[in-house]
Structure 1
Amino acid sequence: MGLKAKPELGIQFGAGGDTSAEDLEATGTSDPSKVIDLGKKFIEVRVEEMMIESEGITENVKSWRTDVIQAILRDLRSEKVMFEAADPPVFNWYVREFGIDVNLFVEHSQIVQLTCLRSGIWGMADNPAR
């Protein structure tokens, strides 16, 4: 019926929205190279796109793991990955750093806000589209 699998990759899973950063720190994260290696294997078997989970990267952390994002984009083709961007400051950062065409998935209630950010209608002063 036209459905295509999109595997989800990440350095931390199972946290949920109200898990504290402290609890997640105690759990720990996987080495980002595991995400990259698995992503390369998915590309080899012709997976069209992979979802990158935000937990442990930009969600419920004391400071964002931009190093993980940079490593993923350095080693995997950008058109093959879609990053979860759960909050406006997160998707603003992605658009600022990687341009208006960066592939993001957001909650349905934030689609208009992201579209306006990308078109330059809305956004913080550092929005490159403004």
Structure 2
Amino acid sequence: MAACVCIGAILALLAPLFPEIYNTSGEVKALAASFIRIIALCMPMGAFIHASYFTLRSGGKTVVTFLFDSVFMWLVNIPFAYVLSRYTGLPIVPLYLACQMIDLIKCFIGFALVKNGIWIQNIVETKP
């Protein structure tokens, strides 16, 4: 996570430079820089999610990781984005930030599962 904090900070600082590569309007470049900053902000959260996801997976809880990753996207992320985009007047940048921040739920779930030891499963049989 510390590496993602550092890389995210660098990415946020360099965000206005990346859109300059493309020949497009200033408004599009500003939107692109905003999206890059949001991704940079969310990098540590993504690192934590991946760390907890792979900890669960290493303990043999593959079904939990399936639920944690794929099912969460279809039952939470996509409906949340749909509702925000269709039934609110949020501009695109705050909408994108909200859709990224919904993954905080996964952080709390992942933390709880790892802390409680639910992920630990004996996958090696011992001989008596």
Q: TM-score range by the shorter chain?
A: under 0.3
TM-score with structure 1 length normalisation? Answer: 0.24
Q: Which has the higher contact order (CA 8 A, sep 6+)?
A: 2
TM-score by length of 2: 0.24
